[in-house]
Amino acid sequence: MPHVEIKCFPGRTEEQKIKCAEEVTKAITETMGCPASSVSIAIKEIDQDDWKEKVWDTQIAPDNGLYKKPGYTC
């Protein structure tokens, strides 16, 4: 039952979010061997001014199991 939460700056269209969710679902089903009906995906928009406090400081900097690290710092 994979659940993915994607956080990004605001500005993507609904169509872009849907396409992203479809592509992430496809990658998960192919690599983890589970049915698409088991996958859930949330896309949450975080204002750029809040990114460091709400995302970087709490989820990225502590390195709590990141498998893909960003190429930027805050």
DSSP string, 38-71: G-EEEEEE--GGGHIIIIIIIIITTTSS-SS--S
E strand or H helix at 23:
helix 14-32
Rounded to whole angstroms, the Cα distance separating 47 from 62 reads: 21
The pLDDT value recorded for residue 26 is: 98
3-60 is classed CATH 3.30.429.10:
yes
Rounded to whole angstroms, the Cα distance separating 8 from 69 reads: 15
User: Catalytic amino acids?
Assistant: 2
The pLDDT value recorded for residue 63 is: 84
Identity at 9, one-letter amino acid code: F
Q: Where are the domains of the chain?
A: 3-60
pTM for the whole structure: 0.90
> The tokens of 54 are what?
């709400």
Average pLDDT per block of 10 residues along the chain, 74 residues long: 97 98 98 97 98 97 92 94
The pLDDT value recorded for residue 14 is: 98
